[in-house]
Amino acid sequence: MSVHRLLVTALLLATLLLGAASLALAVDPQDYYTFRVSSSLPGMLFGVTPEGQTGLGGALQQNIPVAFTPCEGNWAAGYASGSNDSTIRLGFSGREVNGNAFIGKGWLTPGHGLYVVCTATSDKIEEAWSLQYQILPLTESHPALAVGVQDVFNERERFIGQAPHNARSIYVTATGPVSREAERPIYWTAGWGNGRFRRGFVGVSAPLSDHWQLVGEYDSFTPNLGVAWGLNGRETERNFDALGYFGYNDFKRPTLGFSFTFRNQ
């Protein structure tokens, strides 16, 4: 087995072990419900490169924020739907499905990007605004580092149907390559925060080919696994891409995601 495959296997195993340990914490399934599928922060269902470019390339996860942050001229929009049982469903809300849609824009310079995103958390277009700022770029001596706030204005309930709203969550996240010499780098991400991220999170994204990417993570609530596919591939010179995602929350609830990215550089 190659070193590349050994590293992927080891990182995925660590993710699964963290997820298995989390099952003993008696996590309430209604806790931060609207942010439990994929909630539109950087890297969630779309990739971000160390230079802050959106597409399939770079780090990509299901429901944890990567530190690489979209910079000026980069956009992302998409939709995610997660089932509450083992059946694949599309939808926004109800007892059987949990979903959201989003549109976000990058600002500022590569390596110090600012990403602002609006997430529609139900079919009534109830929104939550989130942002992330990259403090440190990726260098030879340290990983990229970013800070962010999910639900900046505290508009969503922590528990479904309960008030006052209390879903604002602040976090710090770091992302770096497993090997800097790899032609197609495997990226790890780890972070911690309060609220939605209070148990910490860790993940890995590994390219399987020019058009496919493997994702494994523990998102502070459950372990998740999935694969992403990009229309134009990792090395495209086109300034747009369309991506599809299929994964499993907690290894049993299917998640479908779609995103469209654009960069004008």
Share above pLDDT 70 across residues of the chain, in percent, rounded to a whole number: 87
| pTM metric for this prediction | 0.90
CA distance linking residue 103 with residue 78, whole number of Å: 7
**Separation between Cα atoms, residue 17 and residue 184, nearest integer Å:** 26
- State the pLDDT at residue 124: 74
Boundaries of every domain in the chain: 3-263
Before 164, cis peptide (omega within 30)? yes
pLDDT for the residue numbered 10: 61
Given a contact cutoff of 8 angstroms between Cβ atoms, the answer to whether 113 and 137 are in contact is no
pLDDT surpasses 70 at 8: no
Top-confidence range, 27-41, 85-99, 168-182, 183-197: 183-197
pLDDT band per the 50, 70, 90 thresholds, residue 30: confident
CA distance 253 to 120: 21
pLDDT above 90 (res 229): yes
The yes-or-no verdict on residue 29 having pLDDT over 80 is no
CB-based contacts of 186, cutoff 8 Å, min separation 6: 4, 7, 8, 11, 177, 178, 179, 204, 205, 206, 207
- Whether residue 150 contacts residue 39, with contact meaning beta carbons closer than 8 Å, is answered with yes
Strand pairing category for 240-249 and 54-55: unpaired
Rounded to an integer, the average pLDDT of 218-245 is: 92
Two tokens, residue 11 = 């990182």
CB 105 within 8 A of CB 116: yes
Of 218 and 8, the one with more pLDDT: 218
Q: Which amino acid type is present at position 192? A: W
Question: pLDDT, tens digit, for every residue of 159-214?
Answer: 887 778 899 999 999 999 987 666 789 999 999 999 999 999 999 999 999 999 99
Domain 3-263 has CATH 2.40.160.40: yes
Residue 90 and residue 123: Cα distance in Å, rounded? 12
Q: For residue 59, what is the DSSP state?
A: B
More confident residue, 64 or 127: 64
**Whether 73 contacts 200, CB under 8 Å:** no
